[in-house]
A and B are shown apart, each in its own frame.
Chain A
Amino acid sequence: EVQLVESGGGWVQPGGSLRLSCAASGFTLSSYWMTWLRQAPGMGLEWVANIFRDGSEIHYLDSVKGRFTISRDNAKNSLYLQMNSLRAEDTAVYYCARDLDIATESGYYDAFDIWGRGTTVTVSS
């Protein structure tokens, strides 16, 4: 079965750190862009960061640049999000998602076809 399972969430004080993991199964992680997204309480979905198949290209949401680091270990079929200097506004359910990165005559398109169930991060004193 193709699936993604996040772990590593929890409660942390402002300024603290957490490392989220996303374990992939049923497919070869190295074949896909991977993405972290989040949803804060009562808010909509928010894209956080993504990483190319071999880790050679990475992009971040401006508000997490310099604080969060996305990485992957294709040999372990795992994706990670190291979160430092956490703020209250980082409180959210964090999801990892597979990006099909569909190629057409017009170009490439994001298509998040597989999502995990999410892991909750709470930043509070």
Chain B
Amino acid sequence: AIQLTQSPSSLSASVGDRVTITCRASQGIRDDLGWYQRKPGQAPKLLIYAASSLQSGVPSRFSGSGSGTDFTLTISSLQPEDFATYYCLQDFNYPRTFGPGTTVDMK
């Protein structure tokens, strides 16, 4: 199974900060990667699919980039509602696998 690693595992940031989260795949996965946001007690929310395509209704401060093995999720200006855990998910092959998550908390 393809392994995904995320860095950092957690970060502290302030409202207005630019935040970057990295996801690395154990083998090339083209652009078959999505990003999800998870808040406590809530279902995960789809942010990005196909590495860089923004899901409808997701604020434009979220963006994704990358292909092959290295991917990035960027929040251009962190908002109070963005404090959450972020997961990458590969859909290049089966079984689908998630990264371990990156928690963004308040500095």
Chain A interface (Cβ < 8 Å from any Cβ of B): 44-47, 50, 59-62, 95, 100, 102, 104, 106-107, 109-113, 115-118
Contacts and interface: CB of A to CB of B under 8 A. Distances in A.
B43 A109 contact: no
A61 B43 contact: no
A35 to B, nearest CB: 8
B98 A109 contact: no
B98 A45 contact: yes
Nearest to B46: A113
Interface of B: 1, 30-32, 34, 36, 38, 43-44, 46, 49-50, 53, 55, 87, 89, 91, 94-101
Contact of A102 (B1, B31, B50, B98): B50
Main secondary structure of the interface of A (DSSP, over half): strand
The binding surface of chain B is classed by DSSP as: loop
A118 to B, nearest CB: 7
Nearest to A45: B98
B5 to A, nearest CB: 12
A58 B30 CA distance: 23
Contacts of A109: 32, 34, 49-50, 53, 91
Nearest to A112: B46
A104 B49 CA distance: 11
Nearest to A65: B95
Given A45-B89, A112-B89, A115-B44, 17 more contacts: A45-B36, A45-B101, A47-B96, A59-B95, A100-B49, A102-B49, A102-B50, A104-B50, A106-B30, A107-B32, A109-B32, A110-B34, A110-B91, A111-B34, A112-B44, A112-B46, A116-B43
A44 B100 contact: yes
Contacts of A46: 98
B46 A111 contact: yes
Contact of B43 (A62, A95, A102): A95
